[in-house]
Structure 1
Amino acid sequence: MTAHSPIAAQIFPDEARGVFAAVYPDEAAKLSHGLAGHPLLSIEALAGLAERMPAASVEYNLGKLPLGVRPEDTPSNGLSLGETIRTIETNGSWAVLKNVERDAAYGALLNAALAELAPLVEARTGAMLNREAFIFLSSPGSVTPFHMDPEHNILLQIRGEKVMTVFPAGDEELVPALQSEAFHAGGHRNLVWRENFHGRGMAVKLLPGDAIHVPVKAPHFVENGTGVSVSLSVTWRSERSVAESELHGLNALMRRRGLPTGRIGARPERQGVRRLAYRVMRKLGV
């Protein structure tokens, strides 16, 4: 298989798609995949990809961080991005390549993966919107701090091993309402960590060929193993995730005016009146 050849083999086996169908969209679950060893996901291929990506689409820093590090305290590693990736085994760093689907070959890889899941997703949360892909590279022992993401996400482990600890979405002790509102208004993904949170999470060990479904805004952190780790994250939005974002936005607007906030239900896409109110208020600049 060349770097630009079509993806012929099934990426998510039948058993993995069955597990995914049983848990989507609300529960985390371990899956399997067939992309380990793909030529587009080698270290050298990823270094080349990174060097042709716009600066705004890459993020990298030292990798051994506290679980609750503040965004402004994240230290630089002092290297260029290409150097960071090519020497990832020894430089103690973490890097993410964002929106790699903008490159045609990686876009084809994303579309092939999500095409296998689309019927299952559409039956629960409607069409897959804003399909995106991210690639994470980590030095041995790196830690990705406690955080949450706004997308439906499946993380595929390509090389090395890591343990991802995932927490339930919607727990306001883990993510207070004010933090959700700030997050949907463009706030940082990192969350405040407390040691008493440990028992609420599900720790999942990921080896090459393993994957994990992470629900929208399910808090999590990642601890890398003793080797270099490469992971591919395939993500999408849905009417449900968009609706949740809109309703948190409405609550933020109401809260700022001293007005009562509303409950966000398990099916936020059905809260049409409140979503319309948010859109009108945004349009009027209220």
Structure 2
Amino acid sequence: MNQHSSTFSGSLPLDTFDETSRANFAACYPETPHKLVHRLGQHPLMQLDALATLAETLPDPSVEYNRAALPLGLNGEKAPANGMGIGETIRNIASTGSWAALKNIEQSPAYADLLMELLEEIRPTIEARTGAMLKPQGFVFVTSPDGVTPYHFDPEHNILLQIMGSKQMTMFPGGDTRFAPDETHESYHTGGPRDLFWRDDMRPHGKVWSLSPSEALYVPVMSPHFVQNGPAPSVSLSITWRSQWSFAEADARAFNSVLRNLGLKPRAPGRWPATNRAKAFAWRLVRRIRG
């Protein structure tokens, strides 16, 4: 049982993920999406006013917000600004028609404590499967009714905890070139955007995961997805981490971009438990030479 408690007012309930959820996570990690149950909904750090205050203290690169009435895929376009400040956006999220992301919330000591306490509950499973838990990070998403988070992928192992409101995530298999071409992976891992190009004919191939308060969803590394918010304002918390495998896969993708620029057609890196060590080492050497 987790023996840590939050340093913020009140304490994080012991075993935020119940025994069944932890067992399900152990059976499915790292490649199979699955739902969990959590007990974080009433935590004071996850309430709108606390999140607005956090957003106002984070550096500008750690705060992203825009209008929430978006298509499923931006397809190279930029989401339009909402014309207001981040504090107002969050405090009035029911009526601002907005989407906001607070990145690297662990920059705040209180939120860092919360993130690490949640991850400690599942650390044994993580480290037994994919080795050391690296680069733990937390992200909060605050969304107006019916808002959309367009089609994209993320490089982290991720558990998305639904705190307030409801949403549906439509997820596609990681590593499947029908949904994210190899060239897109390579571009992302050499500095390109994480947004993906959307086609309506892909939609029937995605699996829809519905999330209500107290439910969470494990999202495997680089699994393409889009999110549609329900009819009420939503707050979600992503707790994320990296592994030696995820870094090696990313570096192998980057090295493939070098090979592709030479006119070759490189084979895509293998999904877990493939190690991808040779190409990862080659990319790290190239990066060192480039300075």
TM range (shorter): over 0.9
Aligned to 1:253: 258
Once the two structures are superposed, what CA deviation does each residue of 1:195-249 show, in whole Å capped at 9, x if it has no partner?
1111211111111100000000001111111111000000000011000001001
Query: Which consecutive residues of structure 2, in runs of 5 or more, have no partner in the other structure?
Result: 1-5
Could you tell me how far apart the structure 2 residues matched to 1:225 and 1:268 are?
A: 36
Aligned to 1:96: 101
Once the two structures are superposed, what CA deviation does each residue of 1:139-181 show, in whole Å capped at 9, x if it has no partner?
0010100110010000000000111111110110110010000
1:21 aligns with 2:26: yes
Superposed, which structure 2 residues align to 1:1-286 within 5 Å? 3-70=8-75, 72-267=77-272, 270-285=275-290
Q: Decide whether aligned partners of structure 1 residues 129 and 169 sit closer, same or farther in structure 2, where only a CA change above 3 A counts.
A: same
On the 8 A contact 2:68/2:98 being kept in 1, the answer is: yes
On the 8 A contact 1:71/1:188 being kept in 2, the answer is: no
Q: TM-score, normalised by structure 2?
A: 0.94
Q: Decide whether aligned partners of structure 1 residues 106 and 260 sit closer, same or farther in structure 2, where only a CA change above 3 A counts.
A: same
Once the two structures are superposed, what CA deviation does each residue of 1:14-34 show, in whole Å capped at 9, x if it has no partner?
111111111111111111111
Could you tell me how far apart the structure 2 residues matched to 1:167 and 1:75 are?
A: 26
Once the two structures are superposed, what CA deviation does each residue of 1:76-109 show, in whole Å capped at 9, x if it has no partner?
1000111101111001000000000111111111
Is the partner of 1:64 in helix, strand or coil? coil
Is the partner of 2:221 in helix, strand or coil? coil
Identity %: 47
Is the partner of 1:212 in helix, strand or coil? strand
Is the partner of 1:189 in helix, strand or coil? coil
On the 8 A contact 1:152/1:214 being kept in 2, the answer is: yes
Could you tell me how far apart the structure 2 residues matched to 1:24 and 1:2 are?
A: 29
Which stretch shows the higher mean deviation, 67-76 or 163-172? 67-76
On the 8 A contact 2:63/2:103 being kept in 1, the answer is: yes
Q: TM-score, normalised by structure 1?
A: 0.96
Is the partner of 2:12 in helix, strand or coil? coil
**C-alpha displacement at 1:4, in angstroms?**
3.7
Structure 2 letter corresponding to 1:44: D
Could you tell me how far apart the structure 2 residues matched to 1:274 and 1:206 are?
A: 38
Could you tell me how far apart the structure 1 residues matched to 2:13 and 2:39 are?
A: 11
Q: Decide whether aligned partners of structure 1 residues 2 and 257 sit closer, same or farther in structure 2, where only a CA change above 3 A counts.
A: closer
Which stretch shows the higher mean deviation, 258-267 or 106-115? 258-267
Which stretch shows the higher mean deviation, 260-269 or 188-197? 260-269
On the 8 A contact 2:154/2:221 being kept in 1, the answer is: yes
